[in-house]
Structure 1
Amino acid sequence: MSALTAATVSRERIEGHLKALEGVRHPVTAPAALQRACCYVEDTLRGLGYAVDLHPFEDGGSEYHNVVATRLGTRLPDKRVLVIAHYDTVSVSPGADDNASGVALMLELATICREWRPELTLHFIGVNLEENSEEGVRGTGLRGSRALARFAVQQGWDIEAVLVLESVAYAGASLRQSVPAGLPFQVPQTGDFLAVIGNEHSRGVVGRFVLVVQDFGIALPVVPLVVPGNGEAVPDTRRSDHAPFWDAGYPAIMLTDTTNFRNPHYHEPSDTLETLNLAFAARVCHATAAFLLGLACGEGPVPS
C-alpha cells in the first residue's frame, strides 16, 4: 500500500464537492435540492467503484434514504468501520459548513480509500434528516442515523468504530471559542482546533484518533472530550449522528469544529463556502484517513 501523506488529500476535490452541495437541502423548503444531494452522494460513491445501497426510512409519511457505500474487508469482513456525514440542512441555510463540509470529507476519504484492501469492512455513508423537522424543537432530528443504528442492531453488525464528520471546516487563529453549559472540561479559547467527542464506551477510539494525529505529525490541534454515560449531562455533545450509535451501544466519535460555539454563520444564510478554511478541512481529512489506515487496514503510521 502506498504511503499516506498530506499530498494524498486533494483540496481541489474537497472544494468541488462543497460547490456541488452548497445550497438549502431541506425536506420542506427545498425537497428537490435534498434529493439532488442524495443522488450526488450516491453517484459519486458508485463512480468510485463502491457497492452502494440506498437504506430507506419513513418520516412524516414520506420515504427518505441514507446512502451506504461498502468495501468488504479481506480478513475480518464482519467487523465494520462506519464514516458518516449528513447531507441535509436547516430550512434557510446553504449549509456549507453544516454539513457540506462533512460530506465533502467523507467523499474525499472514499476516494483515498478506494485502492486500499482493508482487513475490516469500510462503509462510507451519507445520512439524511439529521436536522430538526421542527426547528427549535430539541430531539426531533437525527432521523436517518436513528434508522441506520436500528438497522445495524437488527442485522447484528459488529462495529469497531463509527466516525461522524459534523461541520469540519470553520477554524482559525482569530476565532473566539465558547463552550456548552455544564461541560466539565477546559477548552482552548481560540477556535483553531478539531474537537473529538466520544462517550465512555468510545474512549479508546478517541485516544487512538489523537495518537494518530501525533504519530503522523499532522499540524492539526485536537481537543479530545470524553463525556460520561451517553452525554446526557451535556446535551450539546449529542447533537449529531453519533448519538444514536452511542444509545445502541456502539463506539462512536464526532469530529467537529464545534459549530455554533465558534461559527457565527451556523444555521444562517451566511454559511457559505467563502467562510470556510479549506486548509483546516484538508488536515482533518488527512488525520481521518490516517486513522482509517491503522484501524481498518492494520497499518501503523507511515512517515509523511
Structure 2
Amino acid sequence: MRPLSGAGKGGALPAVSRDRIVQHLTFLEGVRHPVVAPVALQQACGYVEDMLRALGYAVDLHGFEDGAEQYHNVVATRLGTRRPEKRLLVLAHFDTVAGSPGADDNASGVALLLELAAIFKQWRPELTLQFVGVNLEENADREEAGIGLRGSRALAALAAAQGWEIEAVVVLESVAFAGSSLPQGAPAGVPLQVPPHGDFLAVIGNEMSQGLVTRFALTVESFQVPLPVVPLVVPGNGELLPDTRRSDHAPFWDAGYPAIMLTDTTNFRNPHYHQPSDTVDTLNLSFALRVCEATAAFLLGLAGGEGEAQR
C-alpha cells in the first residue's frame, strides 16, 4: 500500500492500496456475460457482494428481469449521520461483452469501487453513501437496439419511483488504460480540443451535472493529484453526442438526477476495447491509482462527515 498524494491545498488524504486493486482485477478478469458465461457473471456478482459485506456495509441485492431471467445489482449502503435522506451513489458495472475478459471494461471500475468502499469503511458520512455494482451494462449481447444499461435503468427507475434524493451519481467506466504515447481520438462534434495523447481522465456530465464536473476538476487541482483531467459538459442529456451516453450515468440523466462518468474514453484510446486482448497486463495501474485518489478526495468533499480513512 502507498499513501495518496501528500497533503496538498486540500489537506491529507486516505491511502489507496495497489495490492487490493490488483486482487480485484485478477479475480474479475474473464468473460462475464449473461449468455456465454452466466456462471462467471454470477461469480462476479457474488464477489462484489462478498467484498462489500466483509467491509461492514449493509448490502442489498436489487433484482430486475431481463429476457425472462432474474439479475441483480449489488447495493451497499452506509447511512448518513446528518442528512441520511440525501444520497451519493458510486457505480461500476461488472459484466462484459461476449468476447472480452474485460479488464479495463470494466473490471477496472469495479476494482476502484471496491477500493473506495474499503477506504471509507469506517467513515461516518453526513450523506448516505452507496456503492453499487451494476449488472448488464453492455449493449452488444442482444439483437434489439436500445436495450443496453439494463441494470442501471432498473436502478434509476427504482430511485425515481421511490423518490430518492440523489445529490450525485459517480460512474467509474473503464479507468485504467492510459499513456503519454497513446494516440487519442474523439467522437465527431465534441465541443472542445481533445488532447492528442491518451494520458488523461475524461469527466463527463450533462447540463444538470455541470457543478459536479467542475468540482471534480477543482478537487484534483486542490489536492495536487498528478492526474490530467478533461472536463466535458454536454447539452441536454447528451442526445447530440450519443458516445457520451454509453454507460450507467445515462439512465440517471434521463431520470433527472445529476451524474458524471469518469472514463479513460475506451475505444477512442484503447485498441483492446471489447477484444480478447483486454487483459490486466495491458493496464496502467499507476493511472488507475491516481483516478482512485482523485475520486476519494471528491467523495470526501461531497459526503462530508468524519472517521478513520483506512490504510
The alignment status of 1:143 with 2:150, answered yes or no, reads yes
Question: Equivalent residue for 1:213?
Answer: 220
Seen in structure 2, the aligned counterparts of structure 1 residues 5 and 90 have a Cα distance that, compared at 3 Å, is farther
Question: Equivalent residue for 2:262?
Answer: 255
2-structure distance, mates of 1:245, 1:7 = 29
CA contact (8 A) 1:134 1:140 kept: no
Match runs of 1:3-152 below 5 Å: 8-132=15-139, 134=141, 138-152=145-159
Kindly provide the amino acid, as one letter, of the partner of residue 18 in structure 2. Answer: R
- 4+ long deviations beyond 6 Å: none
CA contact (8 A) 1:81 1:160 kept: yes
Kindly provide the amino acid, as one letter, of the partner of residue 54 in structure 1. Answer: L
- Using the size of structure 1 for normalisation, the TM-score is 0.95
Q: Give the root-mean-square deviation of aligned CA atoms.
A: 1.5
The alignment status of 1:164 with 2:140, answered yes or no, reads no
Question: Equivalent residue for 1:302?
Answer: none
User: Post-superposition shift, 1:139?
Assistant: 2.0
2-structure distance, mates of 1:51, 1:104 = 19
- Match of 1:81, SS state, is strand
User: Post-superposition shift, 1:140?
Assistant: 2.0
- Match of 1:23, SS state, is coil
2-structure distance, mates of 1:184, 1:296 = 31
Which residue, out of 274, 277, 285, partners 1:267? 274
- Match of 2:124, SS state, is coil
2-structure distance, mates of 1:262, 1:18 = 20
2-structure distance, mates of 1:260, 1:5 = 35
The number of residue pairs the alignment matches comes to 298
Question: Equivalent residue for 1:177?
Answer: 184
Question: Equivalent residue for 1:243?
Answer: 250
User: Post-superposition shift, 1:134?
Assistant: 3.5
Kindly provide the amino acid, as one letter, of the partner of residue 59 in structure 2. Answer: V
Kindly provide the amino acid, as one letter, of the partner of residue 72 in structure 2. Answer: H
Match runs of 1:188-227 below 5 Å: 188-227=195-234
Question: Equivalent residue for 1:153?
Answer: 160
CA contact (8 A) 2:203 2:263 kept: yes
Structure 1 window deviating more from structure 2 (125-134 vs 170-179): it is 125-134
Kindly provide the amino acid, as one letter, of the partner of residue 259 in structure 1. Answer: T
Question: Equivalent residue for 2:3?
Answer: none
Which residue, out of 283, 286, 289, partners 1:282? 289
Instruction: Give deviations 1:29-77, integer Å, cap 9, x for gaps.
Output: 0000000000000000000000000000000000000000000000000
Residue identity (%): 74
CA contact (8 A) 1:218 1:283 kept: yes
Instruction: Give deviations 1:105-144, integer Å, cap 9, x for gaps.
Output: 0000000011111000000000000002546865221000
For structure 2, which runs of at least 5 residues remain unmatched after alignment?
A: 1-6, 307-311
User: Post-superposition shift, 1:197?
Assistant: 0.1
User: Post-superposition shift, 1:206?
Assistant: 0.4
Seen in structure 2, the aligned counterparts of structure 1 residues 7 and 120 have a Cα distance that, compared at 3 Å, is closer
Instruction: Give deviations 1:123-181, integer Å, cap 9, x for gaps.
Output: 00000000025468652210000000000001110000000000000000010000011
